[in-house]
Each structure stands twice: as structure tokens, then as C-alpha cells.
Amino acid sequence: MSTITLIDYDAGNLASLEGALERLNLPFVRAASPDQAAEEGPIVLPGVGHFEAAQKSLRERGWWRVLPGLVAEGRPLLGICLGLQLLAEGSEEAPRASGLALIPGIVRRLGPGVKVPHMGWSQVRQNYPHPGLPDPKDTWLYFVHSYALEPTLETVYTADHGRPFAAIEARGHVMGFQPHPEKSGAAGLMLLQAALAWMGATTPAPEVPCN
């Protein structure tokens, strides 16, 4: 079982995510800089807040320069919430700040005609089958966000809030969750375990329905 590296860059409370990893009995380390990362295993990029502030913090800690190279070497990377948005090419929230461009697309504001930020539970549906994730069927996951990627060919799950948006995105061994799996009950934990198992962190979760 490989150790998960949890990037700590002052862009959100990591306590709930750490609690989820502990409940799944998955070993992890907090890493404020790349030299603190585990030698192998998945890297998790969480995040809440503003796109440009998060990008700046990752740059200051050396992660922004290092992450594309680690991915190119085959290291799995999982972004969660703002972490998914940072994996994209950029965001309308910060037009002058580039993303990591590890997945395609520009992050756009949700809407129209709905309350933003989107805070609460939304149903997700499968956009295309992915080897690491089950068909969610009628699963509901917990979201807190104002921006999201529009669905692309790399979108695994979609959800709706004013318009369809990417709930889970994947390209190669890079994956991103727009919802908070650690706050989405048993279904969220199962999906988090399934994603990390696909990335080599643990054995696959039992094949049970998400809902």
C-alpha cells in the first residue's frame, strides 16, 4: 500500500479529508512543499477559496512548477473542489491566472438563474464509463462552489446547477472531483476509495451501489 501525499498550501481545512482517509485506513502525509512528499503513490490537491490565491500559494511552495513533471513521470494526481479547477487551463474567476492545464477546459461561473454559490447536494450521473469508478446510478454528492468546468470528453460524472457541469473529470492518471467526497457520506467515501485504489493507493473497494 503506497502513501498518499496530501498537499497543504493553506487553501482550505484539511481536517475532514484527513478524517476520511483515516476512516478508509489509508496512510498519508501532509506536504507543504514537494520535498515533504512521499516517494511514490497518489498526490491529492484539495482546495477551497479563490483560484488566483490558491495558484499563488502553490507557486510559493514550489508545487506549481513540480506537479506537471510528476504527472509526466506517471504519478497519479487527484484534485478536489478548487483542486479540480486548478488542474484545468484557467478560470473565469481569475482571467489573468493560468491553470496547470493537466485537463482541458476553462472553469466558468455557474448559472444562469440559480443561486451561487451552489451549496448542497446534487445528483450525479455517468457521462462515460471509467475503469476506476462505478456507475453512480442515483447517487447524490455534496458541493460547495461557484465555478465549474463545462462537460468535455474527459468528464466522467456530470451534475446540474443552472447548467450541466463536470462533477468528476479524468485524463490519464489525473482525476478531479468537484464535490467534496469526504463530506458526501458513505457514497463519497466509496468513490474516494475507488479513485485512490485506481491510483494504486489501496485495494479496490467492494462493488456496491453508490446510493
Output the tens digit of pLDDT for each of the chain's 211 residues.
789 999 999 887 799 999 999 999 999 999 999 999 999 999 999 999 999 999 999 999 999 999 999 999 999 999 999 999 999 999 999 999 999 999 999 999 998 899 999 999 999 999 999 999 999 998 999 999 999 999 998 999 999 999 999 999 999 999 999 999 999 999 999 999 999 999 998 655 444 445 4
Domains of the chain: 4-198 (3.40.50.880)
| Residue owning grid cell 468528476 | 168
pTM of the predicted model as reported, rounded to 2 decimal places: 0.94
Which sequence positions are flagged as catalytic? 81, 180, 182
Query: What is the C-alpha separation between 167 and 139, in angstroms, rounded?
Result: 12
Reported as half-sphere exposure (CB side, CA atoms, 13 A), residue 140 has a value of: 4
Query: What residues are paired with 79 via a beta bridge?
Result: 45, 176
| Residue owning grid cell 485524463 | 171
Smallest Cα–Cα separation from 167: which of 209, 205, 119, 123? 123
